[in-house]
């Protein structure tokens, strides 16, 4: 009886030791980086959309997310950057996605479509090139100031989604 309990205890301990050493690690740790990028240059996005401010929000979101997730710092200029980008905001749209029983708009959806290119220092061909889309839903409000605030927050969230997708795309192509 005592041997049986001891065997079960040993088996549980062995399973715990095996599971805790499964190899998971943080993705942004310095030792696990595949590239040696220290800084990045993100120019102002060219804007083919109807929004006069979306490119500024996108640029800020890219700098924030790239620094927070991968520790890259902004470069002083394109020549001093280890990684540089070219970006074009292709579209910005916002439209109703749900209605109440009284046929009033309850939610809107903001969508962005961005064309991006990433270059390593000294290279002519892009490291990555493609289009990324991001969207975020936000609530409707009869107060115009609150409605505009909700749209601004949705724009920021969609821009961060695009930046995160870009980081993932760069790392998968590397």
Distance between CA atoms of residues 126 and 8, nearest Å: 57
Instruction: Of 17-26, 96-105, 107-116, 141-150, give the lowest mean pLDDT range.
Output: 17-26
pLDDT of residue 13: 63
Q: Look at residues 76, 78, 99 and name the one whose alpha carbon lies nearest to residue 87.
A: 78
Q: How many domains does the chain have?
A: 1
Which residues, 6+ apart, have CB-to-CB distance to 28 below 8 Å?
69, 70, 71
Q: Is residue 130 part of a domain?
A: yes
Q: Which band of pLDDT confidence, cut at 50, 70 and 90, is reported for residue 26?
A: very low
**Per-residue pLDDT averaged across 80-98, rounded?**
94
* 131: exposed, middle or buried (Cβ count in 10 Å: 0-12, 13-18, 19+): exposed
Mean pLDDT of the chain: 85
Residue 158, domain member (yes or no) = yes
Residue 19 domain-assigned?
A: no
4 lies in some domain = no
Q: Which pLDDT score, from 0 to 100, does residue 122 have?
A: 87
Find the Cα–Cα–Cα–Cα dihedral 112, 115, 116, 122, rounded to 10°: -160
- 19-28, 72-81, 90-99, 120-129: the lowest-pLDDT one: 19-28
Task: Examine residue 12 and state whether it is found in any structural domain, yes or no.
Answer: no
Say what the pLDDT of residue 37 is.
Answer: 78
Residue 6 reports pLDDT greater than 90: no
Domain assignment present for residue 7? The answer is: no
Per-residue pLDDT at 71: 87
pLDDT at 22: 53
């Amino acid at each position: 009886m005592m041997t049986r309990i001891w065997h079960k205890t040993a088996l549980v301990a062995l399973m715990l030791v095996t599971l805790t050493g499964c190899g998971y690690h943080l993705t942004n740790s310095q030792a696990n980086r595949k590239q040696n990028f220290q800084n990045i240059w993100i120019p102002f996005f060219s804007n083919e959309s109807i929004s006069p401010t979306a490119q500024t929000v996108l640029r800020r979101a890219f700098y924030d997310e790239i620094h927070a997730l991968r520790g890259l710092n902004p470069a002083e200029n394109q020549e001093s950057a280890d990684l540089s980008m070219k970006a074009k905001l292709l579209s910005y749209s916002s439209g109703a996605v749900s209605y109440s029983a009284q046929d009033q708009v309850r939610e809107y959806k903001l969508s962005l479509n961005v064309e991006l290119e990433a270059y390593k220092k000294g290279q002519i061909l892009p490291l990555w090139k493609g289009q990324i889309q991001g969207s975020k839903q936000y609530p409707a409000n009869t107060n115009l100031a609150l409605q505009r605030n909700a749209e601004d927050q949705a724009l920021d969230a969609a821009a961060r989604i695009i930046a995160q997708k870009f980081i993932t795309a760069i790392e998968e192509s590397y």
